[in-house]
């Protein structure tokens, strides 16, 4: 069986746009053909696809860099460059992509077959044929393609289930999952038998729901103790929690103390306080004193929780519990979906800012180097176009407002100019 991995960082990069072409039509008897340079092709996108046949992020731990194909450069005869191929990442259903830095959600792959663009490829640059006008008939410049930058994304697999089973190791969560579904989890009498979240489909009175066994919770789990820290994220989507306690108190444990302990770990992790919860008193077949079971139910009732005595070993007592589960699921909100940020598109960012250091003014912004790369500084028409862009974008006015005067030094990208009024 493949190792279960539910969190990993990857580096992704969309394809660069292809460069526009500078070319002029040449053929016999046409000595002064016009510009015919084609546009560069758009770079490929980085795309995520939710694959229901995948259940772990192990592949992404073994291979962490994913690059989309660059767009091809334009060519003569107005031939446009080929678009770069997308890089498609197949991920398990329930995978969430988080952006480095602010942790915002780039994509929540919550449905099987879902497709989401994570990074958009750079636009191809225009060929010189695009810049021809009645007064500028021989433009000797073209635009380069948009260059994209790598981005680090954190991938987290958050199990999608209607009902989640939580509780201490050996409380019997896996046995309950096996009793209620066709799932076949590994079951044994020692801590951390379950090392991965197990899912199963339960059916009761003609209603199906997804049941998940969330493993590894112990005291201190929210601070990294045991395995719980790695699996607490799997409770975030569940609509209803079933807190399984060992009612017989095996190994000298106190069921009420265990309940409070796990509840505190969920609270520390930040599990929403309004997530409904039912207490499941397992192993009641081993309790001879029925008044003790009633006392446990009363204790949970005083805390505001319904408690249901069951026995996973004998498959008894589940009917009242399942009745309440389907009653609650009928009125509860759907599985939680995380709000997504917009896909990053390097070609749309024309923002800039002006910094002043003495008599030197620096114009910074993602589009500034691209602008400089677009200019043929040996061509008068290209320089005029460059000046118009600076004026249209408000950069010249901003420099004046900052106090730039005749002869002041202006830096844009890797170029340096004298400011001229």
Fold for 163-329, please state it: Rossmann fold (3.40.50)
**30 pLDDT band (50/70/90 cuts)?**
low
Please identify, in words, the CATH class of the domain defined by 7-157. Answer: mainly beta
**Is residue 92 within 8 Å of residue 37, measured between CB atoms?**
no
Domain 350-418 homologous superfamily, CATH: GTP-binding protein OBG, C-terminal domain (3.30.300.350)
Cα gap 367→136, rounded to integer Å: 25
What are 283's two structure tokens? 């192993």
The yes-or-no verdict on residue 201 having pLDDT over 60 is yes
pLDDT tens readout for residues 295-347: 999 999 999 999 999 998 899 999 999 999 999 999 998 888 888 876 655 44
**224 pLDDT band (50/70/90 cuts)?**
very low
pLDDT at 170: 78
Ordered alpha helix ranges (H), 91-237: 173-180, 228-231
The answer to whether domain 7-157 and domain 163-329 are alike in fold is: no
Report angle CA 410, 414, 419 to the nearest 5 degrees.
15
336: alpha, beta or left? (left if phi > 0; alpha if psi -120 to 50): beta
pLDDT at 150: 92
The yes-or-no verdict on residue 95 having pLDDT over 90 is yes
pLDDT at 235: 77
pLDDT at 227: 47
Among 228-237, 384-393, 403-412, which stretch is predicted with the lowest mean pLDDT?
Answer: 228-237
Domain ranges of the chain: 7-157, 163-329, 350-418
Residue 262 burial by Cβ neighbours in a 10 Å radius (0-12, 13-18, 19+):
buried
The yes-or-no verdict on residue 269 having pLDDT over 80 is no
Q: How many CB atoms lie within 10 A of CB 15?
A: 29
């Amino acid at each position: 069986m493949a190792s279960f991995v539910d969190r990993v960082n990857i580096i992704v990069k969309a394809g660069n746009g292809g460069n526009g072409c500078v070319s002029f039509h040449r053929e016999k008897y046409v000595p002064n053909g016009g510009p015919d340079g084609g546009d560069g092709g758009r770079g490929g996108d980085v795309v995520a696809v939710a694959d229901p046949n995948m259940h772990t992020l192990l592949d992404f731990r073994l291979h962490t860099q994913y690059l989309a194909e660059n767009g091809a450069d334009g060519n003569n005869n107005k031939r446009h460059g080929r678009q770069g191929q997308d890089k498609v990442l197949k991920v398990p259903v329930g995978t969430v992509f988080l952006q480095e830095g602010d942790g915002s959600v780039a994509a929540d792959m919550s449905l099987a077959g879902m497709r989401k663009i994570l990074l958009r490829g750079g636009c191809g640059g225009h060929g010189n044929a695009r810049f021809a006008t009645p007064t500028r008939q021989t433009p000797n410049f073209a635009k380069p393609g948009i260059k994209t930058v790598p981005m680090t994304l954190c991938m987290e697999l958050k199990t999608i289930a209607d009902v989640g089973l939580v509780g201490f190791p050996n409380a019997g969560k896996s046995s309950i999952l096996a009793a209620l579904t066709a799932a076949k989890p590994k079951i044994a009498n020692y801590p951390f038998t379950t090392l991965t979240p197990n899912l199963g489909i339960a059916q009761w009175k003609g209603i199906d729901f997804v049941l998940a066994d969330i493993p590894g919770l112990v005291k201190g789990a929210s601070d990294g103790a045991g395995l719980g820290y790695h699996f607490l994220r799997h409770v975030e989507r569940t609509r209803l929690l079933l807190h399984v306690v060992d009612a017989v108190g095996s190994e000298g444990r106190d069921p009420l103390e265990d309940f409070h302990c796990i509840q505190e770990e969920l609270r520390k992790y930040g599990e929403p306080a309004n997530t409904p919860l039912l207490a499941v008193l397992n192993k009641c077949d081993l309790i001879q004193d029925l008044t003790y079971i009633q006392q446990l139910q009363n204790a949970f009732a005083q805390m505001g929780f319904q408690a249901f005595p069951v026995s996973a070993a004998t498959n008894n007592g589940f009917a009242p519990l399942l009745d309440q589960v389907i009653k609650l699921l009928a009125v509860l909100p759907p599985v939680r979906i995380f709000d997504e940020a917009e896909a990053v598109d390097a070609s749309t960012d024309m923002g800039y800012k002006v910094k002043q250091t003495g008599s030197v003014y620096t114009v910074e912004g993602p589009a500034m180097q691209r602008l400089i790369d677009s200019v043929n500084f040996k061509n008068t028409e290209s320089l005029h176009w460059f000046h118009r862009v600076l004026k249209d974008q408000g950069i010249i006015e901003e420099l004046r407002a900052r106090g730039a005067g005749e002869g002041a030094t202006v830096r844009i990208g890797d170029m340096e100019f004298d400011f001229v009024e």
